[in-house]
Structure formats: C-alpha cells, structure tokens
Chains A and B, each alone.
Chain A
C-alpha cells in the first residue's frame, strides 16, 4: 500500500491526531531520575531457548562446555525468522533441561543453564567498520545473527519486521516511527535510556534509515518525559523529527502510536509494515546500534524494578537469564503477606507464580507493589451497562457486550463483536465500576477462538485427505478393471491358440511357461532378501549410534554433576528409556479395558488397549517410619540439581500431542460466515 502524498504532507506538518478512548491511570514513575545501574553476575544464568531454536534448530553447545559472553548457543533454521540466543556471561553449561518460564501459568520450557565462572570473558567484538557503505542485506543479516528482537514487550524479531518492509517497498519505506512513548505506568527504562544514551539511539536511527530509507522519520515521546524530550531533541537535530504526544494510556501500543502520529488506522489483521510504516522501540534501536557499530550481541537489557515492597527502586541493566529472585534480593525485597510480583507494568503485566524465573528480552519491568500502592482486586458484581468500557476502548469495541457473549460461550457472536481486534490493553477493566474482569475473559476467549480455528484447520485437512483417498481408490479400481479386462482377453486368446495346437506342442509350451515363472519368482525373492538385509544393517547402525550417544552424554552429565557436587538424578523415571538392558528385565504387557465413555469419545470399538509398562522395582526401605508429617527442610537442604541428559535429544523428537477440545467448545463451534 502506498500512502498518498497528501497524507504524507499532513504528517510532515507535525499534526498530532487523536485516537479513540484511552485512560489516565496514576503514573507511579518513581524511578525517572535514577541512573541505570549494572547488576552483579548471578550465581546461575538460565536462558530459555525454545524461542531461539524452533522446531528444527540446532544446539551448538553441550552440557559441560565452557562458553564466553556473546557466544552463540543455538542456531535456528535459516528459513525461519527466529534469532539465535547468546550466552550472557562466561561459564560452564551445567544443564540443558526443562525449567520454569516467565509465564502466568508457570509453564516449563527448554532452557540452557550456565554456571558463571566470574571472569566474564567476552568473545571478540566484531563491529562492522564502515556500515554506512555496506549492503542492506549484510546489516540485516547481522541484526538477525546478533539476536536483536523487539524489546517493547512483544519480542517480535526485528530483522523479520525490517526485511518484510524492505520487501514491500524496496526503494523507500514511507514512515519510520521510533516509539519512546512508554505509556504503561511505573516503567521508566526507555525514559532513562533516552536521557542517557540519546546519541547512541540517534546512531541506531541512522542505521535504520540506511536500511529502510524512509520518507519521514518520527520519534514519538509522551509529554510527561520532559528530560528525555530535551536530550533527544539535542541528539536528533537533523536525523528525525520529534512528536510530543499527550500522556494517555495506551498511546504506546504500536497501532495507537501510528494513529496518533499519522492518522492512519491499521486494522489488527494487517501488519504495520504492509502500510509502509515501521515502528521500533528505543531499546531495540539501541541494541541494533550495539550489534552493528560495537559488534556486541544482545546479552543484557534495562529493567525497571519498582514497587513499595522494595527497599530501593532502580533502573538496572540485567544480564538476560538472571532470575527475578536475584534481582529482587539485590534491591531488598521486604515481602508482605501474599506479595504480588508483577512482571511487566501494572496494566498489562502478569503476576508470577514463582520468582525463580529468568528475565528475557521482553521483560521491561518487575513490580513488587504493596497493598496500599495497588489495592487487590475485589469481587465482581453485576454489569450495569454503564458503557464506560465502550468509551475507553482504543479498538472501538463494546467490551460489555462481548463479555456477555463470551460468558455464554457464544463464540461466533464474540467474533462478530470483534474479539480479534482486542489488544488486551486492560482499559475496560480499569474503568469498570463493577470490578468485572473483562480483560481476563477476553484473554480466555482469544485462546478458545484459537483452539476453534486450529480444530477447523484440522477438519479441513482431514476432509481434503478423505477426498484424496476416495479419488485414489476410484482410480485404482478403474486400473484394476482395466487390468482384469486385459487379462481376460489374454486368457481368451490363449485358449483360442491352445485349441488350435496339437497335444505335444501344448505340453511343450506349458513347461516353458512354468520355467519362466520359476525364474521370475527366484529373482524377486533374491531382490527382496537383499533389500531387507541392507535395511537391517543401516537401522542397526543408527540405533547403536543413538544409544552410544545417549550413554556418552549421560556419563558426561554424571561427571559434571559429581564435579559440581550435585547428585545425579533424573526427573523422568529411569525405566522410561528402553535400553537393551532394561528391555528384557521388567517389561510387562497389560491389557487395559477402557470405560465406555472414554471408548466412545476415542472412537474405538475394540475392547482394550495393550499398554506396555515397565514397572520399577520398589526400593527396599530400611529407614524407620516417621510419625506425622515429614520435616520441611527444603530451605536448609534444597532439592538437588537435576541434570537430564535425555532432554538433550528429546527436543529433536517430534512428539505428537493429543489435542482434546475443551468442554466449552463442544457446545458451539459455528463460525461466522464471511
């Protein structure tokens, strides 16, 4: 899509547009004047790698390897848009295992855990010397290779965004917007970055301009950051123009910034780069500059740590993979009863179920509020249809109608009401006088809609498969008929020929035919045998290799664990791995008959499933039995570190997960007609 020149002229006149809705929550930006500090290196660093590996990526390190700061740990597939992850300090890889991720539900995911050695050695910096004269492809490759991702919160791969914009408009992008709004309350990390590193950000903008060649470059900052505006104005004298936007939540969301700056409403189903608009966060711009000019990959980010439960509030540069626990204990957390630790701002952040989770590139804030600072949510009462939510929704939705549809499991009506346009900004829940958790319901509804969509895609695929099969069968049937006809004709001809022959000739011909057939059968048998043999050979070799590799990694992990004083113990029961030793010992086949209800839902008519189980021999227990509860000494003797060598290989296996539709979906799964 190409913007009209009239629109561009309007934008160039520094006009500020208004977007619909928005709220003005209390700002709570206490850390505007605290300088960005450097945090100590923690005792363990845990880097989630599933986002940096994809389905077919490659792990570049193994347990026990020594890594340096900035060393690449994973290499995703070249075709995917994923970026690699880099070690954030030097040390030994102590485990590659499933750890708890920063997620509201406490999901686990594959992580690389590094035990830092304290020297913090770095790989040699490799700056691109004269980037001004380099190719745009080289710069993009560098941005991807050095792990630059969106640091505003969505963690979208920057290289993917830039190159899609370049692909759409090869000569020149229309508008480049640098987002320094930071509308979320309590967060000040972008504000501080703009105050302290304005010149570096300017350099980053120059690099972006080199790549995109935009017609207009705009830096958008909210008017409550006076110092940042001053610093940026000084640094960006002729590089970009600054727009000062009125303070309003959620101005910082990409579509709202675009609307406020250009007056264009980009629908939620379209990408911003399609309209020739590229929008990047200031922290991302800074990391682009670091990747290209300094040659340092992304190994740290600035995090605002605030809240009244802390002794000290600060903006801190944190190594990626540092645990939230380490961060909070360094700032003196004094927890209250059922202390909430919010990762992200108070509007869109989520409470953590545990604080032993790593900081990743998307986390900009850790908030530890007291009940006085942010009161706990109250029980909701009935909706009185006051319409406040509809007046503040930046996506122009009517949230309370959508809420009632969602509560009634009316997913089709929910889609019609525009659930896909909801950006989960939380403005509706903020203003609701009845304390209705609108945003939480919409989050749930979105997950359900995704489920429905996936099920539909699966259904369509199955249908297509059925059609294909029918076609194939029909074709085969036709061919068979044809062959039959031919054979019949042949027999007929033979019979006719036989009828003409004398008995001696007939016997001769019969013997000849028999011999020929015998020869053919022999040849076929030989070929089959040979094929089988080679197959066996190759499979044996690969199996052996696999087992050997497993054994080796196991041994190695054991050595490391012994060395580091950990007790070697696996999360998975030992017997799950079918090695040659265990195969013969305690394997039992059980026939389990399913209850009727389950069988029906599984669509199976036969009576039972054969389930192979490998029973563990119960350990002989010589200890005297304890009376009452076991003593809880988890603080004095923490659970030993788990090292799982199996996981090393398990990420390569494609485990097919059975997907069961939730109960809610069984009721209504009709989609709207387009």
Chain B
C-alpha cells in the first residue's frame, strides 16, 4: 500500500480534524443573543415607566464598548470580528444601561463603560478571564466617584412616562445638559392626577405630599428608605401598594425580568437550581430579619421588588464567568449573595447595594471553587465493599 506521494513529498489531500467531529448547536454567540433578546421586555417596561432615557444610555454604552473592544483586539493582535462578534460587550452595555439612571448625562455612562470594558475585562485577558462582573464594576465605579449626580438623575416612575420624557426631551437632558426637573414634574403630575381619580383619602393625600417633597429634593423611594433605616425607624414607613400607579413600575419590572429569566432557563443558559437557591435564601433571610428587626430590614416584597434584586437574580448573578465553577459551588455563591444583599441593604451607606454584594461575592468565587470539589468517579467503590 503506497501513500500518495509525488516528488518525495506526501500531499495531504484528506481533511484532518480532531475528534469529536459532531458539535452541539449552542454557541457563545447564540447564548449572548438569547440573553439580549430576553431583556427586551425589561427594556420595554423601562421605556413605558421611566421614559426614553434608557435608549440613549444603551446607545452610549454600546458604541463605547464596541469601539473599545475593537481597539483592544487591535492592540492584542486578535481578530476584531471574533472579539466584537461574540456580543458579550453588547450584553455588558445593555445591563449597564439598565442599571444606570436613565437621565444620566452622556459622559458619565461613557466613563462607566470604559472602566467596565478596559479595566475590568480587557486587562484581565478579555472574555472569560475577568474576576468581577464588568457591568457591576462600571456601575460601582460611577456611583462611588460621583454619587450626587447619580442619585439626582433617577426618575420616579409613572405609567406612560414616555409621553413626558420623549425622545427629544431625553436627548436634550442627556446630551445637552438640560435640567431634568421639568420632565420630572410632568411625570409626577401624571401620577397625582391618576391617583386623584382613584381615591381621595386624607391619609393617601398626606403620603402623596410626602412623596412630592421627596421628589422635589431629588430623592427616590430607596433614598427615603435609606434615611429611615439610618435611624432604625423603617417600620414607621408605610407599606406600599404595588398595584397603585406610583409603584406599578416595580411590579412590571419584576414580571419582565421573570419572563426573561424563564426564557433563559428554558434554553438552559442559567441553572434553575441556582436561581431557586438564591430566592429561597433571600426570602428566608429577609423574612427572619424583618421580623426580628423591623426597624432596619425591609419586608420581603419590598426587598424583592425594589432595586436590582431581580436583574441580579437572573442576569448578573448567573454570569458564568465571574461565578463559582461547579454547580454545587454556584448554589453556595447564590446563597452568599442573597445574604450579602440583605445585610448590605440594612447597614450599607448607599441606596442600593446589589452591585456591592455582587462584587464581594465575585471575589469569593475562586475560594468557593477550591472548597467545593467534585468527588471523583468510583470513589465509593473501595469504601462500600
């Protein structure tokens, strides 16, 4: 049997590959695309209740992220199409856009993205090598370095807020530096007129006035909670009807994130056990602590609905890169995160502490990896017999 040989050299005419030759259909690109698509309901809710600001934030972040990714891949002599084409930068920027205040001036969001992509992700070696979640790190960076502007550019939600915070209005606030108070007043007017039609109680009028005062001073609901819990008098703050127009937005966001999470779970992109463990731990700890110290810990419904708990549970905690490695480790990670969120919310000095909790537990992930090792195949074999 002769090998096909000509002029002393063997010509390789057959295709060579390493086994296995079959391949499952799911790719990194698909995973990222599904994550992006599953966030559409949340973006819709955000636009409906908070105005069009999110669109501009998303554009800001995405353009910055893509340009930076291209730059980084040029510097590292890698293919631009490969690094940008995996869509991970766009996922990061969308999550960042969802967490940043909608009316934040454009340069702040650009700086947050630069920090997220360059410092947190690229310096560690690109996709899959970062220790901290880039979106959360960018958010924390901007929140620590300029807390005033971040706190004041939040919008109190109202149904059909997109009518007040239109594209042009949002554009002028974000890019031209116009004041947001006019838009905020319009949105508040909507809420009050809605509520007036519903009921006319003296008590609700009083809370409305209280809210109005808060709004005038630029504080949101979480700010109010913070000022109460600092004095240990959180129990004096009234509970909230999440079906009322004022707080409807939070319920809608909750549902939107749930839909997104179910989509991800059905595609097996996130582990169901991890999400279940997170919610179980969160509800348990929050419930126990609320009953023990009602002055410091908010109620379970408040804890779930307000702030970034839901986006954290489905999108940020489940980021595989910054997570623990094994499935067992991921469950421990989720429990640790729930614990941190509950306690940092009670004693932290910022409004919402999900980002801090996420970064702290990210730092613990390598340790969890070491502590949760899988048993090897057939280890019982000797012990049993």
A356 in contact with B2 given A384-B320, A387-B326, A431-B26 (CB within 8 Å):
yes
Task: Report yes or no: B22 in contact with A357, Cβ–Cβ below 8 A.
Answer: no
Contact partner, B320, options A354, A385, A430, Cβ 8 Å: A385
Task: Report yes or no: B379 in contact with A353, Cβ–Cβ below 8 A.
Answer: no
Residues 371-386 of A, flagged 1 when their CB comes within 8 A of B and 0 if not, give 0001111010111111
In the complex, which residues of chain A have a beta carbon less than 8 angstroms from the beta carbon of B320?
Answer: 384-387
Contact partner, B14, options A268, A353, A382, Cβ 8 Å: A353
* Stretch of A132-140, A335-343, A549-557 contacting B (4+ beta carbons < 8 Å): A335-343
Task: Report yes or no: A377 in contact with B23, Cβ–Cβ below 8 A.
Answer: yes
C-alpha spacing A216/B15, complex, angstroms: 46
C-alpha spacing A264/B375, complex, angstroms: 15
C-alpha spacing A426/B13, complex, angstroms: 26
A4 adjacent to chain B (CB < 8 Å): yes
Give, as a whole number of angstroms, the nearest-CB distance from B99 to chain A: 21
B327 adjacent to chain A (CB < 8 Å): yes
Residues 313-324 of A, flagged 1 when their CB comes within 8 A of B and 0 if not, give 000000000010
Task: Report yes or no: B7 in contact with A340, Cβ–Cβ below 8 A.
Answer: no
In the complex, which residues of chain A have a beta carbon less than 8 angstroms from the beta carbon of B375?
Answer: 396
Contact partner, A433, options B1, B17, B27, B379, Cβ 8 Å: B27
Residues 90-125 of A, flagged 1 when their CB comes within 8 A of B and 0 if not, give 000000000110001010000001000000000000
* Stretch of B121-129, B135-143, B238-246, B337-345 contacting A (4+ beta carbons < 8 Å): B121-129
A346 adjacent to chain B (CB < 8 Å): yes
A265 in contact with B377 given A349-B21, A374-B22, A377-B21 (CB within 8 Å):
yes
A385 in contact with B22 given A100-B1, A265-B377, A398-B374 (CB within 8 Å):
no
C-alpha spacing A340/B31, complex, angstroms: 30
B323 adjacent to chain A (CB < 8 Å): yes
Give, as a whole number of angstroms, the nearest-CB distance from B6 to chain A: 5
Contact partner, B2, options A255, A351, A421, A638, Cβ 8 Å: A638
Give, as a whole number of angstroms, the nearest-CB distance from B372 to chain A: 10
B217 adjacent to chain A (CB < 8 Å): no
B321 adjacent to chain A (CB < 8 Å): yes
In the complex, which residues of chain B have a beta carbon less than 8 angstroms from the beta carbon of A358?
Answer: 1
Task: Report yes or no: A2 in contact with B385, Cβ–Cβ below 8 A.
Answer: yes
A354 in contact with B377 given A435-B27, A639-B5 (CB within 8 Å):
no
Task: Report yes or no: B15 in contact with A348, Cβ–Cβ below 8 A.
Answer: no
Question: Which residue, of B19, B129, B325, B326, has the highest number of chain A Cβ atoms within 10 A?
Answer: B19
In the complex, which residues of chain A have a beta carbon less than 8 angstroms from the beta carbon of B325?
Answer: 385, 387, 390, 398, 400-401
Task: Report yes or no: B1 in contact with A268, Cβ–Cβ below 8 A.
Answer: no
Task: Report yes or no: B22 in contact with A338, Cβ–Cβ below 8 A.
Answer: no
Task: Report yes or no: A323 in contact with B1, Cβ–Cβ below 8 A.
Answer: yes
A340 in contact with B21 given A356-B3, A391-B327 (CB within 8 Å):
yes
Task: Report yes or no: B128 in contact with A348, Cβ–Cβ below 8 A.
Answer: no
In the complex, which residues of chain A have a beta carbon less than 8 angstroms from the beta carbon of B4?
Answer: 354, 356, 634
Residues 100-130 of B, flagged 1 when their CB comes within 8 A of A and 0 if not, give 0000000000000000000000000011110
Task: Report yes or no: B19 in contact with A426, Cβ–Cβ below 8 A.
Answer: yes
A128 adjacent to chain B (CB < 8 Å): no
C-alpha spacing A113/B1, complex, angstroms: 9
Instruction: Identify the closest chain B residue to A25 (Cβ).
Output: B22
A46 adjacent to chain B (CB < 8 Å): yes
Instruction: Identify the closest chain B residue to A416 (Cβ).
Output: B373
In the complex, which residues of chain A have a beta carbon less than 8 angstroms from the beta carbon of B126?
Answer: 382
In the complex, which residues of chain B have a beta carbon less than 8 angstroms from the beta carbon of A429?
Answer: 19-20, 23
Task: Report yes or no: A387 in contact with B378, Cβ–Cβ below 8 A.
Answer: no
B380 adjacent to chain A (CB < 8 Å): yes
A382 in contact with B128 given A339-B14, A347-B22, A401-B325 (CB within 8 Å):
yes
Instruction: Identify the closest chain B residue to A390 (Cβ).
Output: B326
Chain B interface residue count, Cβ-Cβ cutoff 8 angstroms: 53
Task: Report yes or no: B128 in contact with A375, Cβ–Cβ below 8 A.
Answer: no
C-alpha spacing A639/B5, complex, angstroms: 8
A439 in contact with B19 given A267-B381, A338-B14, A421-B376 (CB within 8 Å):
yes
A543 adjacent to chain B (CB < 8 Å): no
Instruction: Identify the closest chain A residue to B382 (Cβ).
Output: A267
C-alpha spacing A266/B381, complex, angstroms: 6
Question: Which residue, of B3, B31, B330, has the highest number of chain A Cβ atoms within 10 A?
Answer: B3
In the complex, which residues of chain B have a beta carbon less than 8 angstroms from the beta carbon of A430?
Answer: 20, 22-24
Contact partner, A387, options B3, B86, B327, Cβ 8 Å: B327
Contact partner, B7, options A4, A100, A382, A630, Cβ 8 Å: A630
A418 adjacent to chain B (CB < 8 Å): yes
B16 adjacent to chain A (CB < 8 Å): yes
Contact partner, A381, options B28, B327, B378, Cβ 8 Å: B28
A60 adjacent to chain B (CB < 8 Å): no
B18 adjacent to chain A (CB < 8 Å): yes
In the complex, which residues of chain A have a beta carbon less than 8 angstroms from the beta carbon of B5?
Answer: 634, 639
A355 adjacent to chain B (CB < 8 Å): yes
A350 adjacent to chain B (CB < 8 Å): yes
In the complex, which residues of chain A have a beta carbon less than 8 angstroms from the beta carbon of B26?
Answer: 388, 431, 433
Give, as a whole number of angstroms, the nearest-CB distance from A671 to chain B: 17
A440 adjacent to chain B (CB < 8 Å): yes
A439 in contact with B20 given A3-B385, A265-B377 (CB within 8 Å):
yes
C-alpha spacing A567/B24, complex, angstroms: 52
B12 adjacent to chain A (CB < 8 Å): yes
Give, as a whole number of angstroms, the nearest-CB distance from A396 to chain B: 5
A347 in contact with B21 given A44-B1, A270-B381, A632-B6 (CB within 8 Å):
yes
A511 adjacent to chain B (CB < 8 Å): no
Residues 170-212 of B, flagged 1 when their CB comes within 8 A of A and 0 if not, give 0000000000000000000000000000000000000000000
A396 in contact with B374 given A387-B325, A439-B19 (CB within 8 Å):
yes
Instruction: Identify the closest chain A residue to B16 (Cβ).
Output: A351
B30 adjacent to chain A (CB < 8 Å): yes
Task: Report yes or no: A264 in contact with B381, Cβ–Cβ below 8 A.
Answer: yes
C-alpha spacing A429/B24, complex, angstroms: 9
Task: Report yes or no: B19 in contact with A347, Cβ–Cβ below 8 A.
Answer: yes
Instruction: Identify the closest chain A residue to B128 (Cβ).
Output: A382
C-alpha spacing A354/B26, complex, angstroms: 32
C-alpha spacing A357/B3, complex, angstroms: 9
Give, as a whole number of angstroms, the nearest-CB distance from A521 to chain B: 64
In the complex, which residues of chain B have a beta carbon less than 8 angstroms from the beta carbon of A176?
Answer: none
Task: Report yes or no: B374 in contact with A397, Cβ–Cβ below 8 A.
Answer: yes
Q: Using a CB-CB cutoff of 8 Å, which residues 20-52 of chain B contact chain A?
A: 20-24, 26-28, 30-31
A398 in contact with B377 given A100-B1, A351-B14, A384-B128 (CB within 8 Å):
no
A1 adjacent to chain B (CB < 8 Å): yes
Instruction: Identify the closest chain B residue to A3 (Cβ).
Output: B385
C-alpha spacing A435/B178, complex, angstroms: 49
A88 adjacent to chain B (CB < 8 Å): no
In the complex, which residues of chain A have a beta carbon less than 8 angstroms from the beta carbon of B377?
Answer: 255, 265, 267-268, 394-397, 418, 421
Instruction: Identify the closest chain B residue to A386 (Cβ).
Output: B320
Task: Report yes or no: A99 in contact with B127, Cβ–Cβ below 8 A.
Answer: no
A-B contact pairs, 27 of them (CB 8 A): A106-B3, A267-B376, A267-B379, A275-B381, A342-B21, A348-B20, A355-B14, A356-B2, A381-B127, A382-B127, A384-B88, A385-B323, A385-B325, A387-B271, A387-B326, A387-B330, A390-B325, A390-B326, A394-B377, A396-B377, A398-B374, A400-B325, A418-B377, A430-B20, A433-B30, A434-B128, A634-B5
Apart from A1-B385, A421-B376, A632-B7, 16 more pairs, CB < 8 Å: A265-B380, A339-B14, A339-B15, A342-B21, A348-B20, A376-B17, A382-B129, A384-B127, A385-B320, A385-B323, A387-B327, A390-B374, A395-B377, A398-B374, A433-B27, A439-B20
